[in-house]
Amino acid sequence: MKSLRVGVLGVQGAVSEHVEVVNDTLKIMGINGVCETVKNLNQLKEVDALIIPGGESTTIGRVAKERGLMDEIVRKAKDGTPIFGTCAGLILLAKEVYDLKVGVVRQPLLGLMDIKVVRNAFGRQRESFEVDLNIPVLGEKPFPAVFIRAPVIEKVWGKTKVLAEFEGKIVAAQEENLLVAAFHPELTEDRRLHQYFLKMAL
């Protein structure tokens, strides 16, 4: 079997954390594969699955657009490449985005997923929180979720399925090959969400 190449978009943010977690998860699952940081077009073209990490979505979107990465991600997504967006990655994948305080956002988006996202939905950093979250597709054991200036999904439509809610707000969802979480699984030791994503890539 061909080795699975997983890329983490490396413009900015929690890149090394995802790379470490994915390499660890590949080992746990016994998958022949490797995870690397992706910074340019040639690297991006090579990957079989992509993670868009947490960070500042405005910055990631702008730099990725200027380097021609956004169009290539859109192309890959439409070809069926699995893409996992956490926090900032969730924002970038959305078709519609607005900010709770500022309203209209001035930032490039991939616009791939049938979701409407509210940025900074819980407030500022002091409102950031950790909570044990019920995610039915991962089994009964709650998932330790770290929300940092997190967005939420206000509504989903089309083929998008809700995977988890917190206090009535959608915080994880899937639309075929696209997976998103408003929290940071790369900051905890629970590998189940990364396992779920890697299964999508097999």
Partner 1 sequence: MEETFTQIRLRQKPVHGTVVLKRGFAKMQKGGVIMDVTNVEQAQIAEDAGAVAVMVLDKLPADVRKAGGVARMCDIKIIEEVMDHITIPVMAKCRIGHYMEAKVLESIGVDMIDESEVLTPADEHHHINKWEFTVPFVNGARDLGEALRRIAEGAAMIRTKGEAGTGNVAEAVKHMKAVMGKIRELQKANDEQLLDVAREYKVPFELVKETAKLGRLPVVNFAAGGIATPADAALMMWLGADGIFVGSGIFKSEDPLERGKAIVLATTHWEDPTVVAEASRMVTEKKSMVGVDIKTLKPEQLMQFRGL
Known catalytic residue: 194? no
Query: Which runs of E-coded beta strand occur in 100-188?
Result: 103-104, 113-119, 129-133, 143-147, 152-156, 161-166, 169-175, 178-181
The only residue of 30, 101, 136, 140 in contact with partner 1, by rule CB under 8 A:
101
State the binding string over 104-143 for partner 1 (x if CB under 8 A, else -). -xxx-----------xx--xxxxxxxxxx---------x-
Q: What crossing angle do the helices spanning 69-78 and 57-66 adopt, rounded to 10°? A: 100
Let me know: does 110 contact 73? Beta carbons within 8 Å: yes
CB of 81 to partner 1, least distance (A): 22
167 among known catalytic residues? no
Of the residues 18, 175, 184, 194, only one is catalytic, namely: 184
Instruction: Identify the CA nearest to 26 among candidates 18, 17, 35.
Output: 35
CA 50 – CA 38 distance, rounded (Å): 9
Q: Tell me the residue length of the chain.
A: 202
Catalytic residue check, 87: yes
The one catalytic residue among 35, 87, 175, 194: 87
Beta bridge partners of 152: 118
Contact letters for partner 1, residues 66-95 (x by CB under 8 A): x--------------------xx-------
Q: Distance between CA atoms of 87 and 57, rounded to whole angstroms?
A: 8
Interface residues toward partner 1, by CB under 8 A: 10-17, 39-40, 54-56, 58-59, 62-63, 66, 87-88, 99, 101-102, 105-107, 119-120, 123-132, 142, 144, 146-149, 184, 187-189
**Catalytic amino acids?**
87, 184, 186
